Amino acid sequence: MNSVKDVPIQFDYPQQNASGATCIAQAWAKAPRHLAPNEKLEVVKRIKQLLKEKDAALIAHYYVDGDIQDLAMETGGFVSDSLEMARFGKNHAAQNLIVAGVRFMGETAKILSPEKRVFMPDLEATCSLDLGCDATEFAQFRAMHPDRVVVVYANTSAAVKAQADWMVTSSCALAIVHQLKEQGKKILWAPDRHLGRYIQEQTGADMLLWNGACIVHDEFKGEELAALRAKHPNAQVLVHPESPQSVVNQADLVGSTSAMIKAVVDGSATEYIVATDKGILHRMRQLAPHKVLIEAPTAGDSATCKSCAHCPWMAMNGLLDILDCLERESGEVFVAEPTRQEALNCIERMLTFTKDHPDLLAKAQHGFVKNIGVA
Ligand code: 13P
Ligand code: SF4
């Protein structure tokens, strides 16, 4: 069996991940206040009315509060992973998009649809990967390796995307890097070190890695997971590829949030250990109510647990903030036009690739399943 301990990753640009305790604590401090049932009903009713009146669509990520996910589904909006959120916003006819998620998701929607107005419940909802990949530092890394194709993860700022050849999400990263490797390309990858290492291992591509991490997935622990698996020997283990190698090594499926949900819905097992943000359990329970879902272990209440499997920035999205977007037009996302135009190239390249190559995507998705390569 593969190791349940992590092997250190070799970094080619040792940028410190700017995910210090202070900014995480600030995010938790901004968590929306709890609404009493009657107040919640009133707020939801008003939001539904305003979404119609203002020609707006609500797009939510699987990690945000379950009430917001339900509201998106009930109003003709959408709940999904970051790839499909981008595609839905671009193709939807509404003039206004409300993106409940984190900053890069709102920026991606605006970059793809400059003619639409894009709003976010809280513009300060960011991501440790985005925070840990400063655009100026990244430009220095790029300048050191002009011979490499620049592939960046969606969880980056518009200013970083403006410097990239390709943007990828966890749904399509494996397929795209595999194709680049087949074309003989060498890759410069940023910012997630775990996803980068995983893709490198699966494709054999020549990749230089930035040293970034997701503070949520970084906390899943290999040894504790092994102990949990021993207690649940029939459980399938589903892991998001932003997790450390010791956790990925024990997975029955490594995949995007959508792939993990599909595995629970379609899978024959009755028990699943889930290594990603616990917000995803809401949709999993709705779609597969009879399956047993077990949260993968993090550091628990120990000093090193900063998120305990819930993203503090995703948690900043609240119903009252959505109401504010609609009533007061607060939280509008702006991206400077030159940056937008430059960032657009790498996003459109990804959307075209994923539309034109459903076969490669499916094959690579298959490759996410343990012990099956993309060859
Ligand atoms: P997905 O693309 O799988 O939805 O992941 C986005 C993300 O931020 C995971 O932490
Ligand atoms: Fe970023 Fe991690 Fe939060 Fe996803 S879960 S938005 S990668 S900090």
Cα(149) to centroid(ligand 1), Å: 23
Nearest to 219 by CA among 152, 168, 278: 278
In the predicted model, is pLDDT for residue 309 greater than 60?
A: yes
| pLDDT at residue 27 in the model | 87
Output the pTM of the full model: 0.93
In the predicted model, is pLDDT for residue 16 greater than 60?
A: no
Residue located via tokens 């600030």: 26
| pLDDT at residue 187 in the model | 98
pLDDT, average across residues 244-270 = 95
- Contact indicator for 81, 169 with CB cutoff of 8 Å: yes
Closest residue CA from atom 1 of ligand 2: 127
Pocket test for ligand 1, best of 217, 247, 256 (most atoms within 8 A of CB): 256
Instruction: Please count the residues of the chain.
Output: 375
- Contact indicator for 4, 290 with CB cutoff of 8 Å: no
Q: Which long-range contacts (CB under 8 A, 24 or more apart) does 352-355 make?
A: 353/172, 353/175, 353/176, 353/179, 354/83, 354/171, 354/172, 354/175
Q: Strands 271-275 and 149-153: what pairing?
A: unpaired
Q: Is 291 helix (H, G, I), strand (E, B) or coil?
A: coil
Q: Strands 187-190 and 236-239: what pairing?
A: unpaired
Give the H or E element holding residue 148: none
Q: Is the CB of 256 under 6 A from ligand 1?
A: yes
Rounded to 10 degrees, the C-alpha dihedral 165/262/111/32 comes to -130
Cα(182) to centroid(ligand 2), Å: 30
In the predicted model, is pLDDT for residue 242 greater than 90?
A: yes
pLDDT, average across residues 46-69 = 98
CA distance 325 to 329: 5
Rounded to 10 degrees, the C-alpha dihedral 88/91/93/99 comes to 30
Report percent pLDDT > 90 for the chain.
83
Q: Tokens standing for 151?
A: 């592939």
**Superfamily in which the 31-127+314-328 domain is placed by CATH:** NadA-like (3.40.50.10800)
CA distance 22 to 305: 14
Q: Does domain 10-15+129-215+339-365 have CATH number 3.40.50.10800?
A: yes
Closest residue CA from atom 2 of ligand 2: 214
Q: Is the CB of 155 under 6 A from ligand 1?
A: yes
Question: What's the mean per-residue pLDDT of the chain?
Answer: 92
pLDDT tens figures, 66-106: 999 999 999 999 999 998 999 999 999 999 999 999 999 99
**Nearest-ligand number for the alpha carbon of 82:** 1
Return all residues near 339 (Cβ < 8 A) that are at least 6 apart: 158, 159, 162
Pocket of ligand 2 (CB under 6 A): 102, 127-129, 155, 214-216, 242, 277, 311, 313-314
Closest residue CA from atom 6 of ligand 2: 127
Q: Looking at the chain, which residues constitute the CATH 3.40.50.10800 domain(s)?
A: 10-15+129-215+339-365, 31-127+314-328, 217-295
pLDDT tens figures, 252-262: 999 999 999 99
Which of the four pLDDT bands, split at 50, 70 and 90, describes residue 375? very low
CA distance 157 to 355: 24
Closest residue CA from atom 7 of ligand 1: 82
- Contact indicator for 50, 323 with CB cutoff of 8 Å: yes
Which of the four pLDDT bands, split at 50, 70 and 90, describes residue 13? low
Nearest to 310 by CA among 63, 15, 6: 63
Nearest to 192 by CA among 175, 169, 176: 169
Q: Is the CB of 108 under 6 A from ligand 1?
A: no
- Contact indicator for 211, 17 with CB cutoff of 8 Å: yes
- Contact indicator for 118, 109 with CB cutoff of 8 Å: yes
Closest residue CA from atom 5 of ligand 2: 311
In the predicted model, is pLDDT for residue 227 greater than 50?
A: yes
DSSP label of 203: H
Cα(214) to centroid(ligand 2), Å: 5
The topology (CATH level 3) of 217-295 is Rossmann fold (3.40.50)
